[in-house]
Structure 1
Amino acid sequence: MAVRIKDVARRAGVSTATVSRVLNNVSTVSEENRENVLKAVKEMGYSPNVLARGFRMKKTFTVGMVLPDLSNPHFPLMMKGAEEELRRKSYNLIIANSDGKLEFEREAISTLLSKHVDGILFIGSGYNKSVETLIEESGCPIVLLGRRWSKTLPSVSIDNFSAMKHVFDHLYSEGHRSFLYLGGPEDVSSSIDREEAARAVAQEYSGVVVKITRGQFTYESGYERAFSELSDHGSGYDAVVCANDLIAFGALVSCKALSIGVPEEVSVTGFDNIFLSAQFTPALTTLDQNTYEIGRRAANLLLQYISGERKNKISFQLGTRLIIRESSRARRK
């Protein structure tokens, strides 16, 4: 026999209305009652009729998420953080991969809106007024993740400038003076901020030289640019600083192909701390940008907008930390 809401209420010692409020994440329920209800739900294996509940509340209990590159482990980890937070509140997640292309982003947003999702988590490839207008005119709650390319939409991200500056400051403190910077695309906000940090280092410290290149956030781009630059300059660089870990992996393999020792002749650093960074040889020094937590916090913020608990548009920046591993070491000052 199927477990009904009144069975859960009886087990928890509360009214059916209280059970309903807990399941719909209404904040007026006491913590004790909330815990009792959730315990009863788990023990009895109660599963609310999502379709019927959605019809009554004019909700679909689905959230859409637009990602730029599912092949990059950074984004699935962000997705996992969002999905686990949404699942706790009985929401399902629909994923759309844009491949970092503007036309696919517009198409993905339009498709999600046509499915009447209750909200959207969005990682855009770069700022575009037409996408921003589409989002704002839809009236659908939306939160940006990782890349804050709009000043009007709520977001959860990091301070990309300060985070990359921290990488350079660490290397400088360890005697590095000549840098090759393998940046990302010129139209992605996180890439722009990280490149600005590279430029700031060259201006701040005397005797520092930073060669800046731009490319895609891919292994192939990292390999090709590092191979080209290091073939011409050999080990003339003290460090190769990369805008993400995939670029850094390409740089590490190019160093091996050119018989350049890492970290004996040149240090190599990444950015993201994806799970492979600790498994690579040598293990990669990188910047952990709290990827899972970005996804989780963004989903939580979106749910607040969906429920009406929060009205004002707000943006959060999470902390980061430098993970020092085998691919970098001090140079003689």
Structure 2
Amino acid sequence: MVTIKDIAQQAGVAKSTVSRYLNGGSVSKKTKAKLDQIVNETGYTPNTFAQSLKAKKTNMIGTIIPRLDSFATNAILASIDEELRKKQYQLIITNTNQNIEREVENIYTLAKQKVDGIILLATVVTEAHRAAIAAVGIPVLLLGQSAEGLHTIVHQEYEAGFKMGSHAIDLGHKKFLFFTVPEEDKAVGQLRSKGVLDALRKYPDTFIEIIETNFSFSKAYEKAMDVLPATSATYVLCATDNIALAVMKAAHTLGLSIPNDFSLSGFGGYTVASIVTPSITTVKYPYKKLGALSVANIIELVEGKEIVSNLELPNELIKRESTVYLKSSK
């Protein structure tokens, strides 16, 4: 791997000159031309952004989001923006469209833009994420996904799943259909789902059919259209409110009635879930509080202060019209 020292030796200049050149500092035209040529020939790329970020504080915080069409993301962003403006910081937003490679790339991109810190609404945490966070040399705070050795703020996902599963059991249901997401998503696909299934499996006479989909409304709708006509479930649990809304649309398309044909619930506490008819039973997450806490914590990190490495936020079960006591088995 080519280093600054190698570049300096080839150019016959000091390492400090190379560093100044790489950071946009003043060097002679002749030296700059020589260094341009060597950098191009060697394909040199700095393996750390720390030196370039030492110059000055910018009062900019970068935020990486997984998608734009998400109630949860927009609620968190609105809170982050409000809190940053109060503290005279500017918000820079980058979207990844749920692409893991873009998520990692955006860590480097924001660092190059000299943000003071990054708030990452992570989908997963890979070794590439860890390498990028270590390389950029600025504070990074993860929201929604826990990761050992990194600063995170998460929801109590297992507890949320267990609440909802217990609610379904308490209503007397025995046959369940559960729309979940892939296990790569630790928060929803693992912890939330495990909470649901642990609650349902407390009783040996329950039947659970598990259907894997993703966070896309259209994909969940397609899955529901395939599965609902053949199911005998009296309760359909969905890993998110967005999936629950997709199932509701499929039920209407198929001429099924909620909650007469089956009860339905989701997770998130989206506003739209309270507006539709019937209103959807859900677990409400404190997105506004999450946004405010993320700002307070990232600024503490930027200022070099110690913070609790992992915070967990509680949630609330909201019982609505889409779930009812089971009157008779199908």
TM over 0.5: yes
Which residue matches 1:163? 160
1:316 is aligned to 2:311:
yes
Q: Quick one: which amino acid aligns to residue 64 of structure 1?
A: G
Is the CA contact (8 Å cut-off) linking 2:108 and 2:136 kept in structure 1?
no
SS at match of 2:201: helix
> Which of 187, 211, 229 is 2:184 aligned to?
187
> Which of 275, 281, 288 is 1:279 aligned to?
275
1:111-260 mapped onto 2 (5 Å cutoff)? 111-148=109-146, 150-191=147-188, 192-233=190-231, 236-260=232-256
Q: How many Å separate the matches in 2 of 1:315 and 1:85?
A: 20
Is the CA contact (8 Å cut-off) linking 1:220 and 1:250 kept in structure 2?
yes
Q: How many Å separate the matches in 2 of 1:253 and 1:261?
A: 11
Q: How many Å separate the matches in 2 of 1:57 and 1:134?
A: 20
Q: How many Å separate the matches in 1 of 2:255 and 2:130?
A: 47
Is the CA contact (8 Å cut-off) linking 2:155 and 2:314 kept in structure 1?
yes
> Which of 73, 78, 84 is 1:75 aligned to?
73
SS at match of 1:69: coil
> Which of 303, 306, 311 is 1:307 aligned to?
303
Q: How many Å separate the matches in 1 of 2:307 and 2:192?
A: 29
Is the CA contact (8 Å cut-off) linking 2:67 and 2:97 kept in structure 1?
yes
Structure 1: gaps (5+ residues): 1-54
1:326 is aligned to 2:324:
no
Is the CA contact (8 Å cut-off) linking 1:127 and 1:187 kept in structure 2?
no
> Which of 93, 100, 108 is 2:91 aligned to?
93
> CA 1:159–1:107 in 2, change beyond 3 Å: closer, same or farther?
same
Q: How many Å separate the matches in 2 of 1:57 and 1:204?
A: 58
Structure 2: gaps (5+ residues): 1-52
Q: How many Å separate the matches in 1 of 2:109 and 2:169?
A: 48
User: What's the RMSD between the two structures over aligned residues?
Assistant: 1.8
Q: Quick one: which amino acid aligns to residue 284 of structure 1?
A: I
Q: Quick one: which amino acid aligns to residue 317 of structure 1?
A: E
Summarize deviations over 1:106-125 as a string: whole Å, max 9, x none.
22111100001000000122
Deviates more, 1:184-193 or 1:299-308: 184-193
SS at match of 1:301: helix
Q: Quick one: which amino acid aligns to residue 309 of structure 2?
A: I
Q: Quick one: which amino acid aligns to residue 320 of structure 1?
A: N
Larger radius of gyration: 2
Which residue matches 1:289? 285
Q: Quick one: which amino acid aligns to residue 325 of structure 2?
A: A
Q: How many Å separate the matches in 2 of 1:292 and 1:187?
A: 26
> CA 1:285–1:203 in 2, change beyond 3 Å: closer, same or farther?
closer
Deviates more, 1:316-325 or 1:205-214: 205-214
SS at match of 1:204: coil
Q: How many Å separate the matches in 2 of 1:179 and 1:284?
A: 17
Q: Quick one: which amino acid aligns to residue 297 of structure 1?
A: L
Q: How many Å separate the matches in 2 of 1:56 and 1:70?
A: 32
Which residue matches 1:18? none
> CA 1:168–1:193 in 2, change beyond 3 Å: closer, same or farther?
same
Aligned length: 275
1:243 Cα deviation (Å)? 0.7
1:201 Cα deviation (Å)? 2.9
Deviates more, 1:211-220 or 1:89-98: 211-220
Q: How many Å separate the matches in 2 of 1:56 and 1:136?
A: 15
> CA 1:207–1:120 in 2, change beyond 3 Å: closer, same or farther?
same
> Which of 96, 100, 103 is 2:101 aligned to?
103
Is the CA contact (8 Å cut-off) linking 1:186 and 1:214 kept in structure 2?
no
Which residue matches 2:21? none
